[in-house]
């Protein structure tokens, strides 16, 4: 699977997902994100997890905090000047040096008591050559947040070697997309920047966090991230026994981002999101750890093994991890309608945002199945087989099948509850067209 060349797809998110799927189920990682900017701090962040009690006014942060650990000798103004490649070096103004010490001052509370956002659609954005391809979807204004992937260091040994070589000898390759500090969303849509741990040091993780969500992005004319999606990012090395423990995980990323938020380097309203793979994670134990570390929401891989998804969902609900938010008018009859109001866990519940693949062909499904690491699942293989059979029946049968599959997935997810939204991942033209059609006919309920 690692030898697959998903680069052709243009979505870098997919790239590191491939690696993640290959690595282990544990590789699925979370991201962190923020709902409201510091300026509009009034906004919609939910007061979820028990945060530090103190509530320093975020707006009182002196400008010098823009640069993490800035020192006179190396400080070079805006930390927003950022290289788009995570594997390349540090943000200007950040001297080499260290892990921040133990969290000292309690920061502002995580979220002002505010209204929880309602039903949420999020959109996977392409970067690199695919940057800007979602314009039509964005213009529907159906998406509350847009999620930008992190550049993986590599997904194969060959790519890894190439990445290392190129970072030594040349600037980041020709890339039509702006640096991540300048990725732009549809007005009003939250910007979600993925922070992969990969082979980064804690300092490098800090730098990306601060560059994405700190003051520097706007100072440099970019757009601040409202949300950080904390993922492991993974790497082929992870598959070697013993090596994984040396690599940073999404939990490290989450801890670092939470600490920077508590210390005021990024606004207190910045949300931290994480990821999960219900197809392969046995139970929601890993999600619970992420919730304890302050995650506000979780994005999942598409539920391709439906029974595995249900088992994972059930466990997450049993642990009181989820905050439900169904679209208006949805009549989810099935099972318990109990939203996780009975949250028993010490941290606040998370919003569950379930991945939707917008699969437009059997090949797409097959791709997602291997991406999600569930090629061994009979249920997942059946999905592909069904689509292939439909394709054998001609173009129309195939189109009817994919339309029905994508609609039914939404219905099923809604019917079982526990969710707060869907993460739409329309790679490719046909998938984008599908998503547009589903928004138009109402089968994909827009954010409210």
In angstroms, the CA 443 to CA 151 distance is 32
Residue 428 interacting with ligand NAG (CB under 6 A): yes
Considering only 322, 427, 436, 444, the residue that binds ligand NAG (CB under 6 A) is 427
Residue 110 contacts residue 51 (beta carbons within 8 Å) = yes
- Of the pair 285, 393, the CB lying nearest ligand NAG is at 393
CB of 70 to ligand NAG, least distance (A): 10
Stretch that binds ligand NAG, among 25-33, 103-111, 225-233, 355-363 (CB under 6 A): 355-363
The CB density around residue 379, as the number of other CB atoms within 10 Å, is: 16
Segment contacting ligand NAG (CB under 6 A): 30-38, 177-185, 321-329, 358-366? 358-366
Give the H/E segment covering residue 398.
Answer: helix 395-416
Cβ proximity of 107 and 52 under 8 Å? yes
Minimum distance, C-beta of residue 75 to ligand NAG, in the bound complex (Å): 7
Residue 95 DSSP symbol:
-
Q: How far is the CB of 264 from ligand NAG (least distance, A)?
A: 24
Residue 21 near residue 276, CB atoms below 8 Å: no
Give the interface segment with ligand NAG, choosing from 111-119, 284-292, 373-381, 422-430 (CB under 6 A): 422-430
Q: Using CB under 6 A, pick the residue from 92, 256, 436, 438 that binds ligand NAG.
A: 92
**CB of 411: closest distance to ligand NAG in angstroms?**
22
| Residue placing its CB nearer to ligand NAG in the complex, 18 or 49 | 18
C-alpha span between 320 and 164 (Å, rounded) = 43
x-or-dash string of contact with ligand NAG, 49-78, rule CB under 6 A: -------------------------x-x--
Backbone phi, psi, residue 405, to 5°: -60, -50
What SS3 class is residue 13? Answer: helix
Is the Cβ of residue 348 or residue 355 nearer to ligand NAG in the bound state? 355
DSSP state at residue 395? H
- Nearest distance from residue 6's CB to ligand NAG, in Å? 7
The angle at the Cα of 176, spanning 7 to 202, to the nearest 5 degrees, equals 70
Whether residue 251 contacts residue 292, with contact meaning beta carbons closer than 8 Å, is answered with no
| Closest to ligand NAG by CB, 127 or 414 | 127
DSSP class per residue in 238-273: GGSTTTGGGS--HHHHHHHHHHHHHTTSS-TT-EEE
Residue among 373 and 417 whose Cβ is closer to ligand NAG: 373
Q: Smaller CB distance to ligand NAG: residue 125 or 248?
A: 125
Near ligand NAG by CB under 6 A: residue from 120, 364, 370, 377 = 364
Q: Which of 37, 234, 325, 360 binds ligand NAG (CB under 6 A)?
A: 360
| 367 counts as binding ligand NAG under rule CB under 6 A | yes
Shortest Å, Cβ 329 to ligand NAG = 31
C-alpha 29/C-alpha 34 separation (Å) is 17
* 9 counts as binding ligand NAG under rule CB under 6 A: yes
- Going from the C-alpha of 186 to that of each of 136, 149, 189, 190, the distances in angstroms are 10, 17, 5, 8
What residue ranges bind ligand NAG (CB under 6 A)? 9, 74, 76, 92, 360-361, 363-364, 367, 427-428, 430
């Amino acid at each position: 699977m690692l030898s697959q060349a998903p680069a052709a797809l243009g979505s870098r998110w997919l790239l590191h997902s491939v690696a993640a799927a290959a690595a282990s189920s544990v590789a699925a990682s979370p991201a962190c994100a923020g709902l409201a900017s510091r300026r509009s701090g009034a906004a919609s962040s939910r007061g979820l997890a028990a945060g530090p009690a103190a509530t320093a006014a975020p707006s009182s942060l002196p400008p010098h905090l823009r640069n993490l650990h800035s020192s006179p000798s190396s400080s070079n103004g805006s930390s927003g000047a950022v290289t788009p490649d995570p594997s390349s070096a540090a943000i200007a103004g950040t001297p080499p040096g260290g892990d921040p010490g133990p969290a000292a001052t309690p920061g502002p509370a995580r979220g002002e008591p505010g209204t929880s956002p309602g039903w949420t659609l999020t959109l996977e954005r392409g970067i690199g050559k695919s940057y800007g391809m979602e314009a039509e979807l964005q213009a529907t204004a159906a998406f509350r947040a847009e999620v930008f992937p992190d550049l993986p260091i590599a997904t194969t040994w060959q790519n890894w070697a190439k990445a290392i070589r190129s970072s030594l000898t040349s600037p980041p390759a020709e890339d039509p997309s702006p640096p991540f500090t300048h990725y732009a969303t549809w007005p009003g849509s939250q910007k979600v920047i993925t922070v992969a741990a990969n082979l980064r040091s804690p300092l490098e993780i800090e730098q990306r966090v601060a560059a994405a969500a700190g003051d520097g992005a706007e100072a440099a004319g970019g757009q601040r991230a409202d949300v950080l999606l904390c993922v492991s990012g993974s790497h082929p090395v992870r598959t070697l026994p013993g090596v994984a423990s040396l690599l940073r995980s999404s939990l490290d990323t989450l801890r670092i981002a939470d600490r920077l938020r508590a210390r005021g380097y990024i606004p207190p309203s910045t949300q931290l999101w994480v990821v999960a793979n219900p197809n392969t994670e046995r139970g929601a134990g890993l999600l619970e750890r992420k919730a304890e570390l302050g995650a506000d929401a979780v994005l999942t891989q598409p539920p391709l093994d439906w029974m595995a998804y249900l088992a994972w969902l059930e466990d997450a609900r049993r642990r009181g991890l989820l905050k439900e938010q169904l679209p208006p008018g949805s009549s989810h009859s099935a099972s318990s309608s109990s939203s996780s109001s009975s949250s028993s866990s010490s941290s606040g519940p998370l919003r569950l945002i379930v991945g939707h693949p917008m699969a437009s062909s059997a090949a797409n499904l097959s791709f997602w199945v291997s991406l999600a690491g569930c090629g061994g699942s009979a249920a997942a293989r059946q999905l592909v087989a069904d689509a292939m059979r439909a394709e054998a029946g001609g173009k129309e049968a195939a189109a009817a099948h994919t339309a029905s599959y994508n609609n039914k997935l939404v219905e099923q997810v809604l019917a079982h509850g526990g969710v707060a939204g869907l993460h739409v991942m329309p790679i490719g033209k046909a998938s984008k067209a599908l998503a547009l059609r589903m928004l138009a006919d109402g089968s994909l309920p827009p954010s409210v």
